[in-house]
Amino acid sequence: MDNEKIEIGEIIGVFGIKGEAKIYPLTNEKEMFLTFKEFQYQDKHQEGILLVERIRLHKNIIVCKFKDKGTIESVLPLKGLKLWVPTSVLPNLDNDEHYVYELVGASVWTDDGMELGQLCDVMNTGAYDVYVVKDYENKEYLLPGIPEVILEKNMEEKKLVVHLLPGLVD
């Protein structure tokens, strides 16, 4: 598990005139970026490591100054790069909390024993998460991530148990 990595953000442009990069975070917990010392990157043409010189939050983005990238011209070619970190550097969560990557792929069962499908994504909508479940015919179900619907998360069995409120599934 130590060599697993997770995509955490994307460089979307340059910030200011001092060679700082704007990073779009792929997490609601933007503060976790402040703990990262480096990012891995990889695309069709290049891969490597970017070392963090300083990093800060700015509105809904992350602003990062990378070591050896002190000019706008040195940051511009990084635009579009996906940034990754090892899962081992992610902050520990409470026992009842899980990262999305840990949940994706779980089998989803109803509380009356019917297999609904497999969890393929969790979307954040602001008010609550929405669990995206695909059945074996590729039909998608959107389930609100509320306690009345998501009854159990069994990480050992990689299984979710849900209660289908009227109208959630046709």
Q: Which CATH superfamily is domain 100-162 in?
A: PRC-barrel domain (2.30.30.240)
Distance (Å, whole) CA 131 – CA 111 = 16
Structure tokens at 87: 């899962």
Average pLDDT in the 19-32 region? 91
Q: What is the dihedral of CA 154, 93, 10, 102, to 10 degrees?
A: -10
- Using CA atoms, how far residue 11 sits from 27, 46, 91, 166, 170, in Å, is 14, 14, 22, 42, 40
Q: How confident is the model at residue 73 (pLDDT cuts 50, 70, 90)?
A: very high
Q: Which helix (H) or strand (E) holds 100?
A: helix 100-103
Helix (H, G, I), strand (E, B) or coil at 82: strand
* Domain definitions of the chain by residue range: 5-89, 100-162
pLDDT score for 2: 52
Average pLDDT, the chain: 91
Please state the rounded mean pLDDT for residues 138-161: 94
E strand or H helix at 12, and its extent? strand 5-15
Segment 5-14, tens digit of pLDDT: 999 999 999 9
Candidate CATH numbers 3.40.50.300, 3.40.50.970, 2.40.30.60, 1.10.10.10; the one for domain 5-89? 2.40.30.60
For residues 22-51, give the mean pLDDT: 90
Q: Work out the number of other CB atoms within 10 angstroms of the CB of residue 170.
A: 5
Q: What is the pTM of this model?
A: 0.75
Average confidence (pLDDT) over 25-44:
89
